[in-house]
Amino acid sequence: MSRIPKLSSALRAGLLALLLASFTLPSRAQAQDISEYGMKAVLFFRLAQFVYWPGNKPAPRPTILCVVGRNPFGTALSLIDASTGEVEVRLAPSELGACHLLFIPRSEAAGMNGWLERAAGRELITVSDLPGFARSGGMIELPLEGERIGIVLNRTAAQRRGFEFNAQLLRLARVIEP
């Protein structure tokens, strides 16, 4: 049986606000069944709202979320995609040019640096739950820290591409300097 990760109180409050703003809350029984990747899917989906895009542009609509390698989210991203109409999910995209956020899962650990190189120079937010992703040049890492999902930000990597994280995200996250 998989354990349900616990969230810090600040992250829990932020997630609750995001969930309330985006769609109705599930029943109590459904909420207990939310998996690690169910929660990470919601975070991945909502990250674009907490980032200032290059040139002070608003977050793109629809926001195109891309997942390379093996999809760890199961049906969670598809359910979000279908329920909001605000995003488009692309699994194993052949071209990164249309992606706005790129998730590099643990299955791509050996190819992480290659994916970061392919993403370089693009208006693309890189996200992963690979250990050390932010220190390796990725922008946002979503680690499982004990029983909690953390957020680790690499502001330097984001700023190199013209992105900046807003104050709400900075308060919820741990910012590292690689």
> What are the residue boundaries of the structural domains of the chain, listed by start?
9-176
Q: What pLDDT, on the 0 to 100 scale, is given for residue 94?
A: 83
Q: Strand, helix or coil at 14?
A: helix
Q: Which is more confidently placed, 77 or 168?
A: 168
pLDDT of 125 above 90: yes
User: Do residues 130 and 109 touch, judged by C-beta distance below 8 A?
Assistant: yes
How far is 126 from 103, CA to CA, in rounded Å?
A: 6
pLDDT band, very low/low/confident/very high, at 177 (cuts 50, 70, 90): confident
Q: What pLDDT, on the 0 to 100 scale, is given for residue 91?
A: 93
Q: Would you state the CATH architecture of domain 9-176? A: 3-Layer(aba) Sandwich (3.40)
User: Do residues 139 and 157 touch, judged by C-beta distance below 8 A?
Assistant: yes
**pLDDT, average across residues 122-135:** 96
Structure tokens at 29: 């029984």
pLDDT of 14 above 50: yes
Q: What pLDDT, on the 0 to 100 scale, is given for residue 78?
A: 81
The DSSP element (H or E) to which 38 belongs, if any, is: helix 36-46
Q: Which is more confidently placed, 83 or 51?
A: 51
Q: What pLDDT, on the 0 to 100 scale, is given for residue 126?
A: 98
Q: What pLDDT, on the 0 to 100 scale, is given for residue 77?
A: 85
